[in-house]
Amino acid sequence: MMISNKDRIISKMRILQFLLAMNCCLALAGSVLKSFIPLELRWTLVGVFFVVSLIILKKITNLKVFQFENSGFIFSIKYYHPSKKGIVFPLVEYPVNKLRSLKMERSMFADIIVIEVDLKEKEMPFKIKIKVSDISDSDYRKMVNSFSQK
């Protein structure tokens, strides 16, 4: 079973790229037509365009594709930027029988998937926290149900 948010993240990235291009076009149009803009507003508008561009660029760089795969014996999670080319290696790869729990913690700013895995050396489980976005409740239920099916 494979679950991914790649389509949603790529569409979100395209929207952000379009907004960045529109912001740059507006800034360019403002510099060409600066004679029509009052002098006291020019630096304010430059600052606004700059801040908006920085926010959009930060959002683009923070986008990550979350890909979960459970083969029945081993589960793996890949976590990468949507513009990454080439081979993507798993961030997490463990046997299914070592999994203790899989939880999703939702907050206003981010959703975090917490995975607890048993290790031979320790009695305490090893916790892995992964910040994800655009994972629906049904996708989370599919992930949890993939561990109970055998």
CA atoms within 13 A on the CB side of 52: 18
Q: What is the pLDDT of residue 148?
A: 80
Domain boundaries of the chain, sorted by first residue: 1-150
Question: Three-class SS string for the chain?
Answer: CEEECHHHHHHHHHHHHHHHHHHHHHHHHHHHCHHHCCHHHHHHHHHHHHHHHHHHHHHHHHCCEEEEEECCCEEEEEEECCCCCCCCCCCEEEEHHHEEEEEEEECCCCEEEEEEECCCCCCCCEEEEEEECCCCHHHHHHHHHHHHCC
- Apex 10 CA angle, 9 and 14, nearest 5: 115
pLDDT band at 99 (very low <50, low <70, confident <90, very high): confident
* CATH fold group of domain 1-150: PH-domain like (2.30.29)
C-alpha 49/C-alpha 31 separation (Å) is 11
Distance in Å from the first CA to the final CA of the chain: 12
Q: What is the pLDDT of residues 5-24, one digit of tens each?
A: 899 999 999 999 999 999 99
Q: What is the pLDDT of residues 24-80, one digit of tens each?
A: 999 999 889 888 888 888 889 999 999 999 999 999 999 999 999 998 899 999 999
Instruction: Identify which of 10-24, 107-121, 133-147 has the greatest average pLDDT.
Output: 10-24
Q: Which of 1, 3, 2, 27 shows the shortest CA–CA distance to 139?
A: 3
